[in-house]
Amino acid sequence: MAKGQGITEKFLEGARSASTAPWKVAVKPFRAAPRVYFVGDSYVSAYLVDTEEGLILLDTVMFGSVYMTLESIRTLGFDPHNLKHIMLSHCHHDHDGGAEAIRQYTGAEIWLSAIDAEFKTYTDKEEAGPIYASPQYTPTRFYDDSKPMRFGSVTVQTYWTPAHTPGNTSFLITSPGDGGQPLTAAMHGGPGPISVNEEYMAKHNLTMDDLRKQFMEDGYEKLRHLHVDIELPSHPPLSDILDRIPEDRMDYRPLIDPDAWVRFLDARIPRICKSDPNWRK
């Protein structure tokens, strides 16, 4: 990507390449946290979590890029057939486009929030264009934010973080670091603009103001007080993670930055609401 580009330009260029020539956005996988590996591309992230109870994939990248995600998993020395869970942050094609293909190939279960499982029925219609055509999937597992999920030594805690989509979900993954001390990595699932359509809002009696309020209360205020050692962007252009990949791609330690999470949220999240002068907060 050209230097000096803003986030919007980077996004548009990345989306274009990822849609039409995915090999142009290929990224060699790397270890992003003790048991977390980046297996996405330079436009959109996917993270592989290695647990004693099988592999977990956080988001899938786009349908046309799935072959690269599978290749990344193998490059890291893992067998995609050990994938047990595909956990989706939300129901947009750039994050869930590969879900059905990967499910059929590996037998992994697909997780989504119950709210986005319903919202998906509204967006499926909108995203049916040829570029975005992805095999449709049906989630069979739904998040329960009230308690962490344990997979051996790895803990996954989900957080409902509307309103990029109404059921948007963020993840905190805690696992023992190489020195034994636990480290937490986190991916905010929805730092993009509110994408809820009018049909959905009318059905659920919601206004844009309601969604902006939800965004600040659940997507920002609640999360910024959490301790996070390593921030994992859901799209690489949202952070400098790809510029900071260590020379030794298996050494996550240079990515530890306990202030990065709050910096990311402070810079990114409130802009979505505060950019609207009609928003009251």
Binding residues (CB under 5 A) for Zn ion: these are: 92
Cβ closest to Zn ion, residue 31 vs residue 93: 93
Q: At its nearest, how many Å lie between Zn ion and the CB of residue 217? A: 20
Cβ closest to Zn ion, residue 85 vs residue 92: 92
Q: At its nearest, how many Å lie between Zn ion and the CB of residue 126? A: 12
Q: Structure tokens of 276?
A: 């609207």
Cβ closest to Zn ion, residue 92 vs residue 188: 92
Closest residue to Zn ion using C-beta atoms: 92
In 3D space, the residue among 68, 45, 75 whose CA is nearest the CA of residue 58 turns out to be 45
Q: At its nearest, how many Å lie between Zn ion and the CB of residue 200? A: 14
Q: At its nearest, how many Å lie between Zn ion and the CB of residue 196? A: 11
Cβ closest to Zn ion, residue 92 vs residue 120: 92
Q: At its nearest, how many Å lie between Zn ion and the CB of residue 95? A: 6
To the nearest 10 degrees (0 to 180), the angle between helices 66-75 and 99-106 is: 50
Residue type, 143: Y
Cβ closest to Zn ion, residue 92 vs residue 212: 92
